[in-house]
Structures are given as structure tokens and as C-alpha cells.
Amino acid sequence: MSKSYNIAVMGGDGTGPEVIAEGLKVLNAAASKYDVKLNLTKYDFGGERYMKTGELLPESGIEELKKQDAIYLGAIGHPEVKPGILELGILLRLRFALDQYINLRPVKLYPNVETPLKDKGPEQIDFVVVRENTGGIYTGIGGAAQKGTPNEVATQVMVYTRPIVDRCIKYAYELTKKRNSKKKMLTLVHKCNVLTHCGDLWVRAHKEMGDKYYKDIKQDYAHVDATTMWFVKNPEFFDVIVTENLFGDIITDLGAMIQGGMGIAAGGNINPEGVSMFEPIGGSAPKYTGKNVINPLAAINAGAMMMETLGEVKMAKTIDDAVTAVLASGKIKSMSAGKMGLSTSEVGDLIAEAVSGK
């Protein structure tokens, strides 16, 4: 009997719908190969809907999304909406409402993809960042006083509890255990020399869980500032990184750059016990909207990650192998929008054909 999955499709803003269309093309090709059925439901949450109706993400929308198996998201962000409104009201709202406490961001350089790092290739750039996704400064706890006066005060607090840290570290250890890498090393990234409370909590949680349950996994620690240096100097050192929310946000933009740019970087907002959401991490790229020039590979990779998380490991691998093969063929000239030498839909066609084995 064929397996079926209910997928919420949220193209969102800008180039989001274009790249999601290519992702779906590839997912459908892979689904028919593995006798998997994808029941797609489209949602129009995003900047356009907000401008028309004033509505961001209604409670009823969240309740509907909770009933899906996964969410496939294009991009949120509209040039005519004040920065922060859509990001907080839709993207962060969903991460919190669905308790997607892991943000999984692989940093993998595919063959023939240009990295700005001299003398580094696919062998050297292949690690994963596990970013904590519902705590830290992103909880929004804090406040402001005497706004607009010379003595204005503002605070935004880094909030962590032991259970929130533990569940994230557990996910990261499990991933390190099952990941196909010889290093078997989990690096905790923090700033414990300055953040003596939150840093200390993460350091002890990482060590205690590793000592007790994951003796075969090497424990490693790096300060976040030094990590940005290692990403450039010695990316081959890393296997799996686990880090708190804001540090993870920052280092994964650098990670995306060393793997060839936003055109290829995918991420998953994961609730291992609930509904997860997958997205290309590059944003809505308004200036390329509707031009058929944006790179859909990040969205395609996000689709593969979605299927892997749903348990369709073979299907995910087939997509990843197709991406690798097409890139190795040299048919895609660059990862940058407008420079691929092919259109968005042509890249989607190539990957879908490689998936089908045509």
C-alpha cells in the first residue's frame, strides 16, 4: 500500500512561490518513483495577504497547519511591509506555535559549486548546524523604558531552561550518532567566557548528556567568535555543531556562503514529535520575483530534507543524488540568481529528470 503525506504548501512572498513550484516538481517525480502520495494544501499566508486583509496568521490557520504532516515554505518578507511584521507574525509565530525547537542547517558543498574559500572543496565542507529554535533572545522577553529620552533603556533577555537546552542537545547527539561521518564529534558553540549563566548551562548539559548516554561521541567546544574563524580557515574540522538560537542564526548565514550561497542552502524547522517546516533560507529576493532566474536548488534540498524527516529516507537520498549528479555535470554555471545559465524552471526540470532516471 502506498504511503501518503499531507503537506501544507506556503509559497509565501517574492520568489518563494517560484522555487516551491520547482521543489514540488522534483518531489512529485520522486513520489511517483517510490509510490508515495503527497496531498498538497496551499496556503496564502504572507505579505500580499497581509496587505490585502491585515491578517498575518490567524489562530484557525495554525490549527489547520497542526493537522498536516509537514509544511513546505517558500519565503516570508515583502518590500512594502515594514521589516519585522511578517517575520515575527508568520515565521517566528509558526516556529513557536508548532514548537519547532530545532533549526537544522546542513552546510554541504556540492561538486562544481564555487566556494569563496581558497583550496577547499566538497571533502572539506560538509557539516551540520543544529540551531536551537525556540529559546534565547528570540523569546522576546525584555522591555523598554523612557523611550525617546536621553536615558532610554532597552533589554532583550537570553532565556534558557534546562529542558529546552537538553532536548536540543539530545537531538544533536542523536544526529551525530546516525550521521554518516567518521568524525563522530559534537561541537557546542557558545560564548561561555562571557555568558557565564547561559553558557554554563549549555556547557554542563552538553557534557553531562555526552558522558552519560553518548560515550562514543567526541565532545568539543568552540566560542562563537572563534567558530566564524574556523568556518573560513578549517571547515573540515566540524561534524555536527549545536548552538543557541541567535548564534545559530548568525553562523548559518556564514555557513550558507561557504557552501556556495543562499541559492543552495536549505533549512528545516523541526519538531521531532510534531509538525516540521522546511524552507530555502535565502529569503524572498523581491528584485528577482517573476523573472524565472532564481535558483530553486535550496528549495529542492529543503524538499528532500522534509521527506527525510518524514521517514522517506530513500526518496530524500534520490533527490540529493540527483542534485549532486546535475551539479557534477556542470550544466548549472553558478548558484547566483540570473547567472545559472539556465532558468529556474529549467533547473527544476533537470533535477526532476535525474530523479526519474530519464
Binding site for ligand IPM (CB under 6 A): 87, 91-92, 249, 281
The three cell numbers locating residue 69: 504532516
* Helix pair angle (313-328, 297-309), 10° resolution: 160
Nearest to 259 by CA among 335, 317, 149, 337: 335
Part in contact with Mn ion (CB under 5 A); list of ranges 108-116, 134-142, 192-200, 245-253: 245-253
Nearest to 164 by CA among 246, 100, 101: 101
Part in contact with Mn ion (CB under 5 A); list of ranges 16-24, 86-94, 248-256, 257-265: 248-256
Mind giving me the DSSP string for 252-270? HHHHHHHTT-TTT-EEEEE
**Does residue 249 belong to the site contacting Mn ion (CB under 5 A)?**
yes
CB of 179 to ligand IPM, least distance (A): 22
305 binds, among ligand IPM, Mn ion, none (CB under 5 to 8 A by kind): none
92 binds, among Mn ion, ligand IPM, none (CB under 5 to 8 A by kind): ligand IPM
CB of 322 to ligand IPM, least distance (A): 26
Amino acid type, 264? I
Backbone dihedral angles phi then psi of residue 186, each to the nearest 5 degrees: -110, 110
The three cell numbers locating residue 278: 522546511
CB of 252 to Mn ion, least distance (A): 7
Closer to Mn ion by CB, 210 or 248: give it.
Answer: 248
Long-range contacts of 85-88 (CB under 8 A, 24+ apart): 85/50, 85/56, 86/13, 86/46, 86/47, 86/50, 86/56
222 binds, among Mn ion, ligand IPM, none (CB under 5 to 8 A by kind): none
**Does residue 244 belong to the site contacting Mn ion (CB under 5 A)?**
no
Closer to Mn ion by CB, 103 or 318: give it.
Answer: 103
Closer to Mn ion by CB, 40 or 254: give it.
Answer: 254
Part in contact with Mn ion (CB under 5 A); list of ranges 130-138, 222-230, 242-250, 290-298: 242-250
Checking DSSP bridges between strand 240-243 and strand 185-190, what pairing results, if any? parallel
Closer to ligand IPM by CB, 79 or 330: give it.
Answer: 79
CB of 138 to ligand IPM, least distance (A): 7
91-to-4, 46, 84, 270, 297 alpha-carbon distances in Å: 26, 9, 10, 13, 21
Closer to Mn ion by CB, 89 or 121: give it.
Answer: 89
Binding interface with Mn ion (CB under 5 A): 249
